[in-house]
Amino acid sequence: MYKQISENEFNKLLSSYEQGGTYQKKKSSITYNDWLVRYKGKTVHEIDVNEHTKWSKEYQSWKKGNVEKI
């Protein structure tokens, strides 16, 4: 199930990850709507003002904690 890689390949991947590599770039491209669908199961068109107020704050905290520390 797992692919075996050399130590050199592993070190390259680790270095890329630590420097904001592909994984982090994918996270930075997640929009509010994408986040809602992934974590709340609704789109921006399906939520009411109260949900938006609560969830937009969660999204901003999530984004700051997961993207902006790069």
Domain of 41? 29-70
Number of domains in the chain: 1
Phi/psi of residue 39, each to 5°? Answer: -105, -20
- pTM for this model (two decimals): 0.56
> Distances in Å between the alpha carbon of 1 and those of 5, 7, 12, 17?
13, 19, 21, 22
In a domain, 33, yes or no: yes
Question: What is residue 24's predicted lDDT score, i.e. its pLDDT?
Answer: 52
- Both tokens assigned to 47: 């939520």
- Both tokens assigned to 5: 């890689």
In a domain, 5, yes or no: no
Identify whether the C-beta of residue 51 lies closer than 8 Å to the C-beta of residue 63.
no
In a domain, 54, yes or no: yes
Question: What is residue 44's predicted lDDT score, i.e. its pLDDT?
Answer: 93
In a domain, 62, yes or no: yes
Question: What is residue 70's predicted lDDT score, i.e. its pLDDT?
Answer: 41
Question: What is residue 53's predicted lDDT score, i.e. its pLDDT?
Answer: 94
Residues recorded for the chain: 70
Task: List, for the chain, all residue ranges whose pLDDT scores fall below the cut of 70.
Answer: 1, 16-27, 66-70
In a domain, 17, yes or no: no
In a domain, 60, yes or no: yes
